[in-house]
Amino acid sequence: EAQVTQNPRYLITVTGKKLTVTCSQNMNHEYMSWYRQDPGLGLRQIYYSMNVEVTDKGDVPEGYKVSRKEKRNFPLILESPSPNQTSLYFCASSLPTGLGGNEQFFGPGTRLTVL
């Protein structure tokens, strides 16, 4: 089954404790991305990756890191989480984005709470 998986689905942590949210897709997609969803703010893109070893900032990259060492995986790293990073996080993937765009396939989400 074609899918994007995220782990963990729920996480409660404390300020400053490094964490990683994993994302994996089995569709051989080049493009992968991370979003956060907050009430009243919709979905905001954190980082995206056009392909292996190619990453770029989205609209809200502060406080996050990503890496793309393999095509299927795109982990989101919070080196020193803070309470304002409490949010619902989504990973997504798609075929290469050409002159236009392509539909993205989203994971089920990771609800993160930072105390």
Contacts with other proteins by CB under 8 A lie at: 4, 31, 33, 35, 40-45, 48, 50, 56, 58-59, 90, 92, 97-101, 103-109
CB of 80 to other proteins, least distance (A): 25
Q: Which is nearer to other proteins, 69 or 98 (CB)?
A: 98
CB of 84 to other proteins, least distance (A): 18
CB of 67 to other proteins, least distance (A): 18
CA distance 66 to 57: 10
CB of 29 to other proteins, least distance (A): 13
Q: Which is nearer to other proteins, 16 or 108 (CB)?
A: 108
Q: Which is nearer to other proteins, 7 or 15 (CB)?
A: 7
What burial letters (b/e) apply to 33-42, b meaning 16+ CB within 10 Å? bbbbeeeeee
Name 35's Cβ contacts closer than 8 Å, sequence gap at least 6.
43, 44, 45, 46, 58, 89, 90, 91, 92
Q: Which is nearer to other proteins, 14 or 41 (CB)?
A: 41
Rounded (10°) CA dihedral 87, 93, 96, 99? -40
